[in-house]
Amino acid sequence: MSLVVISGANKVAQGIIRTLQASGKYERIIVADVFPNYYYVERYLNFKDTLTPNNTKLSEVKLTDMTDLETALKQATDVVYVTHDYY
């Protein structure tokens, strides 16, 4: 099974990703986001370094147009869409 997390670079999504990655339920988690500037990329990469290694492969997709989103969705069995970066 694979999962796409749309808007996956924000803090709320990171909590979801951390839990699902640790569970080992998914073989692959695809983090899809627009990554609007380097701050968001750096924050995500720092987060990714804190994850405990296991069999779940984590990959990223920069969303620049509808084709990127369609490609990411076709690779997944499940989708999570996170709408906000605050609690």
For residue 70, what pLDDT is reported? 96
Q: Supply the pTM of this predicted model.
A: 0.89
The domain segmentation of the chain, as residue ranges, is 2-81
Q: How confident is the model at residue 85 (pLDDT cuts 50, 70, 90)?
A: low
Total residues belonging to the chain? 87
What are the strands of the beta sheet with 78-81, ordered from one edge?
A: 57-62, 28-33, 2-6, 78-81
Quote the CA–CA distance of 3 and 31 in Å, as a whole number: 9
2-81 placed in CATH 3.30.70: no
Quote the CA–CA distance of 71 and 13 in Å, as a whole number: 20
Q: How confident is the model at residue 57 (pLDDT cuts 50, 70, 90)?
A: very high
